[in-house]
């Protein structure tokens, strides 16, 4: 079908491309596109065609297999080679029978056992009545020796009830007057001729009389033994030959067939040759030896001993393969000509049958499940979707096994049926094959269909079961973890995990040491205790190795963590390897990651917002200063004009106020910039000198104010880190403030004390009552008198506080009665740096 | 001589230009006006200008860019007049070639003083600078110290100093840019052990400033390095 459709591919492709748009949408490749309705390809894709082909395949298979079976029954087959070469002579074919399946070793081991039976069991059978106990032991030992292939064994009861459990053989075994056989008409006195005549086998037979061995039949090569005189092969002891060792008083016999190196003798010291036995009633019997698997002597070693040879002349063993039933029935009812004609027909017909069958099978496997309307492979609703894939797999296997059983078990019958020309038998045989094929091949096709439509695994019960099991196990493990507080351990912080780890390690180590010490000093020699110590020490060793390795991991991971912290501190990028997810440090590491990110984004945002703030301040400053410039300029010009005294006063006021406005504007922007944290320098400076400089540079103002300033400042330099310009502004403002609001005639005290920090205090006595709090006064635009009439912007203390804090100091106001105290505190510079400062001084 | 001096005032605020124009005209200077950078360049190219006062933030071409162009082939004194009052702004303006930097809102008297000082330096000292350096003369910016005559000239104006003041300024100018602490200055000038000398030194410094600086509150030459000492700014 597919082959044919390929021939028409060129036509259909054109049609496909021209006709439907839907084709293009679904056309991932040419094979998947549905053929246009009405085309040859479409017609050939019909499902019923595949069904018919499937049935045809079953019929052909049934025919082929049945024909092959029939062919195997033919004794005279048509020889293809001969026919081709023009030679019409029929070739006789060796038909396969079940007798051919009897292996060489099987025959040999049966012969082996029968020889032992003759030499040992039947020899002593004639000695007399055994006591039950001894007989049981004897039989057990003999069973041990001979029951190698399970075909010969003793039954529990009776004196000599041994069984040859294989009806494919004719056998005879005897010693003296005792014998056992499944051939009728033989007696204890039967000789070779009698036995050979009674054995029905034409295939293979084997007879031993004492050490004389005869073999015969068509397949006598399947017997290992030499024929002729067994004793002539001096290196070997004849199988079953018996001896009595007087030295050790042991009864000995040979039970291996090719014994030079491995011929083994049995002895039993306790036997001491007690060959007579007296029962309770006083009757004396000959006592058979007791066999036990005692010491074994290699034949060659024991030859120098005086071994008393026992009489083996009574041994008689014969085996013959029974002819098969098929042969009894014979295939002679079909003449050779008929057989040759039949085989000729079958052989010739098998070639086209096989070829067609092959094509159909391949085609069906490729095209099964194809839906010509959608161009895809779809599973059938009533079969594929209802049952799991495993079911079809099982049915396929079952069909295969069924076919095997059918072919094997009817082997014999088929020969008979062939001979009897039993058509009904062959038809039913073919029907069986047909049904098995339908089931087996059908299952294979269903599986293929599932595979193609991607439903094999989704419908598979095993997959579902595995999924279910895995989920179940995961659930159980999860619950177990909760219960075993493993998850509780995982929730611990790293430090606690380490603690738990180390505690466990310490405990385990302590126990290991104590165990060792106890074992050494207490001289423990009890096996159990030593075992416990050994097992524990082994476990401890493994644990120690694990602990050691995981400690290295801990070390590496904590090292990583520290490096990560370092990079966060320095603001660099972490370039080390990432933390593995299984590490105990994974969580902290992750937290650090987020922290790092957050710090960076925050820093960026801060920088951005500061920049906008500074820009804003700058712009507003420009916008305010430009008109102010004009005002100041024109006021100045105005003051130069000729005008009335009154007008001159007005202009003076204008000038005063513009000056004030100027200072306010400047202060406001200074403050705004300081508050935004922009442009604060960090330099080393001498706070003592700074305060001195401030006071000194204001000497004229101080003189004018009429208020004296008392300073108490250390002679030694007091080094701090700060911005000199800003701090000078701080003290300038504090000094201005003190001078402005001090009561006339009072003193301003400037004290500097150096303890843990450097502290500068400005103290003055207020001329007005201070009706405000320390907090209020540092607020912007708050003034002591709240009137805001005289000079100053009201920002002085605000600026002082802001600048002090910008330089890393603390600023506070203390009020006590009329005492106003402004205190600025700064961290001292570390001692080390102070020494560095001294160097330039020493150079001077 | 002063009558012939021409000052170009450039600012986008016409009122300010007009006010400055009036201030300078009153001082007997010839004033030209421009309202953006390009205009200023045109005027400089076509007319004789002895001094330029220029705003920074202006349309078309800002003051600093215009300054850079002017400086390519002109060495007239330039005073930058700007509302930007940060140190960095000042440093930027001066390093771009400005001779002086005045922040808005300016003090009219200071402006006049600075204009005069710059003109003086340009016209009188400029020629002096052109002559080979005299022996024993230290020049720092507009300051000129003659060791032979023990005299100091600030922006071309002779200053009268006391002996101590002279010694201090000589010490600082000889080591322009270096910071001296009050003790060090005292030790070197007075040649005595220094003890609580901050006030003494500072008083002298203030006096010197009043003599050499146009605006002693905002000194250009003699500066306090807060918490460290004093220095003459190196130009």
Q: Judge: B108–A679 Cβ closer than 8 Å, yes or no.
A: no
The DSSP 8-state label assigned to residue B15 in this structure reads H
Instruction: Mean pLDDT check: name the lowest of A344-358, A457-471, B15-29.
Output: A457-471
Lowest mean per-residue pLDDT among A536-550, A676-690, A705-719, B197-211: A676-690
- Six token digits for residue A617: 């301040």
Closest CA to A38 of A10, A22, A16, A68: A16
Closest CB to A699: pick one of B107, B195, B202.
B202
pLDDT band at A25 (very low <50, low <70, confident <90, very high): very low
Hey, which residues does A465 pair with through a beta bridge?
none
Short-list B177, B184, B95, CA closest to B138: B177
> CA-CA distance, A451 to A735, in Å (whole number)?
96
Residue range B184-202: mean pLDDT, rounded: 81
- Domain ranges for chain A, please list them: 46-88+332-452, 98-323, 492-570, 597-679, 680-843
Q: For testing the chain B interface, which of A618, A679, A689, A728 should be mutated: the one with the most B CBs within 10 Å?
A: A689
Is residue A416 within 8 A of residue A326, CB to CB? The reply is: yes
Q: What is the CA radius of gyration of chain A?
A: 59
With cut-offs at 50, 70 and 90, classify the pLDDT of residue A208: confident
Instruction: Place B80 in a pLDDT band, splitting at 50, 70 and 90.
Output: very high
CB contact under 8 A, B202 and A693: yes
The answer to whether residue A117 scores a pLDDT higher than 70 is: yes
Report d(CA A298, CA A259) in Å as an integer: 9
Name A364's Cβ contacts closer than 8 Å, sequence gap at least 6.
A50, A53, A54, A57, A445
CA distance B55 to A213: 141
| A675's tokens | 């508050």
A689 vs B13: CB contact, 8 Å cut-off?
Answer: no
A763 and A821 in contact (C-beta within 8 Å)? yes
Residues 6+ apart with CB under 8 A from A820: A738, A741, A763, A764, A765, A766, A770, A813
Classify residue A268 by its DSSP letter. -
Structure tokens given for A816 = 């006590």
A173 DSSP β-pair partners: A180, A317
Q: How far is A714 from chain B (nearest CA, A)?
A: 10
**pLDDT given for residue A14 in this prediction:** 41
| Range 171-210 of B in CB contact (< 8 A) with A | 181-182, 184, 195-196, 198-199, 201-203, 205-206
CATH of domain A680-843: 3.30.565.10
Q: How far is B126 from chain A (nearest CA, A)?
A: 30
Residue A233 confidence (pLDDT) above 60: no
Distance CA A294, CA A271 (A): 12
Minimal CA–CA distance to B228: which of A840, A247, A266? A840
Contact with chain A for residue B91, Cβ under 8 A: no
The pLDDT confidence band at residue A272, using thresholds 50, 70 and 90, is very low
DSSP string, A355-367: HHHHHHHHHHHHH
Q: Which residues contact B155 (CB under 8 A, 6 or more apart)?
A: B117, B118, B120, B121, B125, B142, B214
Measured distance CA(A265)–CA(A242) in Å, rounded: 9
Per the prediction, chain A carries an average pLDDT of 73
Residues in chain B closer than 8 A to A630 (CB atoms):
13, 15-16, 19
**Tens of pLDDT along A612-652?**
877 787 788 778 888 888 888 888 888 888 888 888 888 88
pLDDT at A431 over 80: yes
A597-679 shares its CATH topology with A680-843: no
Close Cβ partners of A784 (under 8 Å, ≥ 6 residues apart): A741, A766, A768, A770, A772, A777
User: What number is the average pLDDT over the span A196-222?
Assistant: 73
Closest Cα to residue B166, out of B142, B148, B179? B148
The answer to whether residue A697 scores a pLDDT higher than 60 is: yes
Digit-coded pLDDT (tens) for B15-50: 889 989 988 888 888 899 888 888 888 888 888 888
C-alpha triplet A86, A89, A91: angle, nearest 5°: 120
Per-residue confidence (pLDDT) for residue A524, from 0 to 100: 58
B-chain residues near A685 (CB < 8 A) = 226-228
Inter-chain residue contact B16 with A629, CB threshold 8 Å: yes
What pLDDT, on the 0 to 100 scale, is given for residue A96? Answer: 40
Judge: B19–A622 Cβ closer than 8 Å, yes or no: no
- Interchain contact A114–B (C-beta under 8 A): no
What is the pLDDT at residue A111? 81
b/e sequence A642-665, b meaning 16+ C-beta within 10 Å: eeeeeeeeebeebbeebeebbebb
d(CA B37, CA B55) in angstroms, rounded, equals 9
Average pLDDT (B40-62) is: 87
Which residues in chain B have Cβ-Cβ distances shorter than 8 Å to A633? 15-16, 19-20, 23, 106, 108
In chain A, what residues touch B205 (CB-CB under 8 Å)?
697
Start-end of H helices in chain B: 14-26, 37-46, 63-71, 87-95, 108-120, 126-130, 163-174, 182-190, 198-212
pLDDT (0 to 100) of residue A83: 63
Q: Are the C-beta atoms of A227 and A241 separated by less than 8 Å?
A: no
* pLDDT tens digits, A242-268: 777 666 656 667 766 654 444 445 544
Per-residue pLDDT tens digits for A371-414: 777 777 777 767 777 777 788 888 889 988 888 887 777 766 77
Binary contact (A625, B181; C-beta < 8 A)? no
Q: What is the pLDDT of residue A245?
A: 67
Single out the residue of A689, A629, A112, A680 nearest to residue B19, CA to CA: A629
Residues of A in contact with B203 (CB under 8 A): 696, 699
The maximal CA–CA distance of chain A, rounded, in angstroms, is 181
Could you tell me the maximum CA-CA distance found in chain B, to the nearest angstrom? Answer: 62
Contact A733, A799 (CB under 8 A): yes
A621: helix, strand or coil? helix
- The per-residue pLDDT for range A45-83, each reduced to its tens digit, is 778 888 888 899 989 988 888 888 887 777 666 666 666
- Distance from the Cα of A685 to chain B's closest Cα (Å) equals 5
Q: SS in 3 state form for A298-357?
A: EHHHHCCCCEEECCCCCEEEEEEECCCHHHHHCCCCCCHHHHHHHHHHHHHHHHHHHHHH
**What mean pLDDT do residues A577-605 have?**
84
| Domain map (residue ranges) of chain B | 2-129, 137-232
Half-sphere exposure of residue B219, counting CA atoms within 13 Å on the CB side? 22
What count of CB pairs under 8 Å joins A to B?
111
Residue B227: what pLDDT? 80
pLDDT at B3: 52
Q: Which CATH class is domain B2-129?
A: alpha beta
Share of chain A above pLDDT 90, in %: 2
Tokens of B220: 């250009």
For the residues A734-760, what does the mean pLDDT come to?
Answer: 86
B30 forms beta bridges with B6
Residues of B in contact with A618 (CB under 8 A): 84
pLDDT at A412 (0 to 100) = 63
The yes-or-no verdict on residue A305 having pLDDT over 70 is no
Per-chain mean pLDDT for chain B:
82
Verify cis geometry, omega within 30 degrees of 0, for the bond prior to B105.
yes
Say whether pLDDT at A523 is over 70: no
Please indicate if any CB of chain B lies within 8 Å of the CB of A696.
Answer: yes
Across A288-297, A496-505, A777-786, B215-224, which has the greatest mean pLDDT?
A496-505
CA A526/CA B111 separation, integer angstroms: 112
C-alpha A327/C-alpha A469 separation (Å) is 58
pLDDT at A240 exceeding the cut of 70: yes
Smallest CA–CA distance from A844 into chain B, residue: B184
What's the rounded mean pLDDT across residues B194-205? 80
Higher-confidence residue of A1 and B32: namely: B32
With an 8 Å Cβ cutoff, is A637 touching chain B? Answer: yes
- Mean pLDDT of the region A577-599: 83
> Helix or strand or coil: residue A256?
coil
Write the pLDDT tens digit of every residue in B111-166. Answer: 888 888 888 888 776 554 445 556 677 777 778 888 878 888 887 778 888 888 88
Mean pLDDT of all residues in B56-65: 85
Ordered alpha helix ranges (H), A21-79? 21-26, 40-44, 47-73
Q: What is the DSSP letter of A143?
A: H
Is the fold of B2-129 the same as that of B137-232? no
Q: What local confidence, expressed as pLDDT, does residue A507 receive?
A: 92
Q: B137-232: which CATH architecture?
A: Orthogonal Bundle (1.10)
Kindly report the backbone phi and psi dihedral angles of residue A763, in degrees, each rounded to the nearest multiple of 5, phi listed first. -120, 130
B83/A724 CB distance under 8 A: no
- Any idea which of A438-442, A520-524, A575-579 has the lowest mean pLDDT? A520-524
DSSP string for B172-231: HHHTTT--B-HHHHHHHHH-S--SS-HHHHHHHHHHHHHHH-SSTTS-SSEEEETTTEEE
- Which pLDDT score is estimated for A832? 53
Alpha-carbon dihedral angle through residues A810, A817, A688, A703, given to the nearest 10 degrees = 130
B227: chain A residues, CB-CB within 8 Å: 685-687, 689-690, 693, 722, 724, 727-728
Helix (H) or strand (E) segment spanning residue A431 = helix A423-452
Q: Return the pLDDT at A274.
A: 42
The strand pair at A205-209 and A212-216 is best described as antiparallel
Asked if residues A725 and A732 have their Cβ atoms less than 8 Å apart, the reply is no
Beta bridge partners of B54: B10, B80
Q: Confirm if B156 and B125 have CB atoms less than 8 A apart.
A: yes
Considering only A62-76, A138-152, A417-431, which range has the smallest mean pLDDT? A138-152
A699 in B contact zone (CB under 8 Å)? yes
Contact at CB, A629 and B105, closer than 8 angstroms: yes
In this complex, is the C-beta atom of A622 within 8 Å of any C-beta atom belonging to chain B? Answer: yes
pLDDT band at residue A9 using 50, 70 and 90 as cut-offs: very low
Looking at per-residue pLDDT, the higher value among A203 and A766 belongs to A766
Supply the pLDDT for residue B232.
Answer: 85
Task: Note whether B182 and B198 are within 8 A (CB).
Answer: yes
Which fold is adopted by the domain A597-679? Helix Hairpins (1.10.287)
Q: How confident is the model at residue A769 (pLDDT cuts 50, 70, 90)?
A: confident
Tell me how many degrees the CA angle A582-A583-A585 measures, rounded to the nearest 5: 140
The reported pLDDT for the residue numbered A154 is 66
Residue A304 C-alpha from the chain's centroid: 67
Q: Provide mean pLDDT across the span A831-837.
A: 48
Average pLDDT over residues A91-118: 63
3-state class of A708 per DSSP?
strand
Q: Which residues of B touch A689 (CB under 8 A)?
A: 181-182, 198, 227-229
The confidence score (pLDDT) of residue A657 equals: 86
- Half-sphere exposure of residue A134, counting CA atoms within 13 Å on the CB side? 19
**pLDDT higher than 80, residue A322:** no
Contact B206, A700 (CB under 8 A): yes
pLDDT mean over A109-137: 70
Among chain B residues, the shortest Cα distance to A618 is held by B84
Distance of CA A344 to the CA centre of its chain: 60
> For residue A250, which of A305, A304, A300 has the smallest C-alpha distance?
A305
Arithmetic mean of pLDDT, A659-666: 84
pLDDT tens figures, A476-507 = 777 766 655 556 666 777 788 888 888 999 99
Helix or strand run (H / E) with residue A646: helix A645-675
3-state secondary structure of A377: strand
Is the confidence at residue A216, as pLDDT, over 70? yes
Query: How many other CB atoms are there within 10 angstroms of residue A17's CB atom?
Result: 13
Better-predicted residue by pLDDT, A167 or A356: A356
Confidence of residue B79 (pLDDT cuts 50, 70, 90): very high
Pick A61 or A462 by higher pLDDT: A61
């Amino acid at each position: 079908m597919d082959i044919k459709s390929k021939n028409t591919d060129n036509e259909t492709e054109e049609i496909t491309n021209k006709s439907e748009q839907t084709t293009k949408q679904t056309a991932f490749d040419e094979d998947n596109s549905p053929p246009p309705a009405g085309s040859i390809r479409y017609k050939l894709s019909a499902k019923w065609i595949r069904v018919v082909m499937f049935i045809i395949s079953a019929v052909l298979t049934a025919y082929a297999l049945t024909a092959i079976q029939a062919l195997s029954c033919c004794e005279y087959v048509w020889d293809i080679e001969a026919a081709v070469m023009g030679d019409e002579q029929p070739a006789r074919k060796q038909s396969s029978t079940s007798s051919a399946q009897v292996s060489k070793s099987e025959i040999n081991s049966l012969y082996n056992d029968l020889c032992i039976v003759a030499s040992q069991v039947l020899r002593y059978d004639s000695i007399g009545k055994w006591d039950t106990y001894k007989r049981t032991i004897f039989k057990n030992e003999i069973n041990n020796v001979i029951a190698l292939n399970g075909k010969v064994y003793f039954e529990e009861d009776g004196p000599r009830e041994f069984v040859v459990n294989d009806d494919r053989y004719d056998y005879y075994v005897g010693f003296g007057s005792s014998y056992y056989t499944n051939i009728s008409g033989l007696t204890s006195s039967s000789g070779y001729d009698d036995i050979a005549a009674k054995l029905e086998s034409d295939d293979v037979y084997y007879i031993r009389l004492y050490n004389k061995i005869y073999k015969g039949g068509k397949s006598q090569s399947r017997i290992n033994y030499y024929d002729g005189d067994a004793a002539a092969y001096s290196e070997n002891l004849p199988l079953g030959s018996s001896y009595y060792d007087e030295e050790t008083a042991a009864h000995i016999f040979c039970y291996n067939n090719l014994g030079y190196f491995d011929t083994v003798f049995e002895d039993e010291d306790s036997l001491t040759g007690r060959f007579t036995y007296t029962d309770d009633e006083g009757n004396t019997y000959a006592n058979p030896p007791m066999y036990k698997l005692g010491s074994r002597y290699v034949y060659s070693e024991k030859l120098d001993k005086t071994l008393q040879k026992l009489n083996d002349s009574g041994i008689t063993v014969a085996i013959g393969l029974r002819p098969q039933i098929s042969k009894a029935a014979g295939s002679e009812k079909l003449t050779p000509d008929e057989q040759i004609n039949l085989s000729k027909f079958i052989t010739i017909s098998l070639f086209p049958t096989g070829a067609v069958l092959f094509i159909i099978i391949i085609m069906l496997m490729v095209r099964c499940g194809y839906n010509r309307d959608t161009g895809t492979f779809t599973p059938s609703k009533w079969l594929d979707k209802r049952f799991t894939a495993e079911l079809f797999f099982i049915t396929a296997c079952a069909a295969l096994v069924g076919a095997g059983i059918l072919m094997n078990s009817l082997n014999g019958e088929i020969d008979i049926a062939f001979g009897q020309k039993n058509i009904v038998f062959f038809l039913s045989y073919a029907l069986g094959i047909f049904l098995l094929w339908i089931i087996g091949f059908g299952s294979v096709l269903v599986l293929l269909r599932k595979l193609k439509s991607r439903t094999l695994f989704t419908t598979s019960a095993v997959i579902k079961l595995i999924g279910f099991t895995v989920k179940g196990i995961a659930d159980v493990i999860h619950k177990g973890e909760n219960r075993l507080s493993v998850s509780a351990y995982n929730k611990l912080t790293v430090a606690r995990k380490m603690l738990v780890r180390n505690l466990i390690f310490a405990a385990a180590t302590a126990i290991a040491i104590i165990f060792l010490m106890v074992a050494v000093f207490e001289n423990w020699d009890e096996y159990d205790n030593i075992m416990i110590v050994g097992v524990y020490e082994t476990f401890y060793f493994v644990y120690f190795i694990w602990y050691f390795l995981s400690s290295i991991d801990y070390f590496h991971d904590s090292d990583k963590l520290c490096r990560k912290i370092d990079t966060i501190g320095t603001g660099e990028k972490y370039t080390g390897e990432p933390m593995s997810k299984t590490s105990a440090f994974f969580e902290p590491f992750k937290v650090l990651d987020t922290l790092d990110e957050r710090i960076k984004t925050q820093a960026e945002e801060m920088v951005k917002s500061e920049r906008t703030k500074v820009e804003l301040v700058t712009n507003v400053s420009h916008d305010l200063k430009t008109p102010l410039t004009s005002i100041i300029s024109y006021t100045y010009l105005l003051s130069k004009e000729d005008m009335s005294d009154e007008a001159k006063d007005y202009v003076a006021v204008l000038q005063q106020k513009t000056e004030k406005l100027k200072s306010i504007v400047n202060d406001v922007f200074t403050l705004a910039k300081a508050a935004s944290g922009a442009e604060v320098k960090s330099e080393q400076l001498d706070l003592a000198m700074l305060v001195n400089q401030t006071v000194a540079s204001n000497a004229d103002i101080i003189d004018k104010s009429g208020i004296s300033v008392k300073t108490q400042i250390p002679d030694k330099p007091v080094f701090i880190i700060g911005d000199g310009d800003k701090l000078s502004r701080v003290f300038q403002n504090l000094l201005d403030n003190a001078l402005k609001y001090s009561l006339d005639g009072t003193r301003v005290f400037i004290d500097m004390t150096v303890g843990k920090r450097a502290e500068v205090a400005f103290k003055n006595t207020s001329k007005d009552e201070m009706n405000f709090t320390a907090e209020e006064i540092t607020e912007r635009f708050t003034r002591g008198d709240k009137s805001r009439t005289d000079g100053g912007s009201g920002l002085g203390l605000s600026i002082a506080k802001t600048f002090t804090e910008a330089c890393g100091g603390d600023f506070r106001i203390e009020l006590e009665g009329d005492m106003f105290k402004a205190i600025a505190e700064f961290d001292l510079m570390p001692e080390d740096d102070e020494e560095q400062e001294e160097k330039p001084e020493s150079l001077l | 001589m002063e009558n012939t001096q021409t000052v170009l005032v450039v600012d986008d605020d016409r009122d300010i230009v007009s006010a400055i124009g009036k201030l300078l005209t009153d001082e007997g200077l010839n004033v030209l006006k421009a309202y953006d950078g390009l205009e200023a360049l045109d005027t400089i190219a076509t007319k004789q200008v002895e001094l330029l006062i220029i705003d920074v933030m202006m349309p078309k071409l800002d003051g600093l860019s215009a300054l850079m162009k002017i400086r390519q082939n002109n060495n007239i004194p330039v005073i930058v007049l700007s509302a930007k009052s940060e140190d960095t702004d000042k440093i930027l303006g001066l390093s771009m070639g400005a001779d002086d930097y005045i922040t808005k809102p300016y003090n009219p008297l200071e402006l006049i003083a600075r204009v005069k000082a710059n003109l003086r330096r340009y016209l009188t000292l400029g020629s002096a600078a052109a002559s080979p350096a005299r022996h024993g003369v230290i020049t720092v910016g507009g300051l000129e110290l003659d060791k032979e005559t023990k005299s100091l000239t600030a922006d071309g104006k002779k200053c009268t100093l006391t002996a101590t003041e002279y010694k201090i300024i000589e010490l600082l100018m000889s080591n322009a840019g270096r910071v001296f602490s009050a003790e060090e200055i005292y030790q070197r000038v007075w040649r005595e052990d220094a003890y609580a000398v901050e006030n003494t030194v500072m008083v002298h410094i203030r006096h010197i400033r009043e003599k050499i600086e146009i605006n002693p509150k905002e000194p250009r030459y003699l500066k306090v390095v807060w918490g460290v000492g004093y220095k003459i700014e190196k130009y």
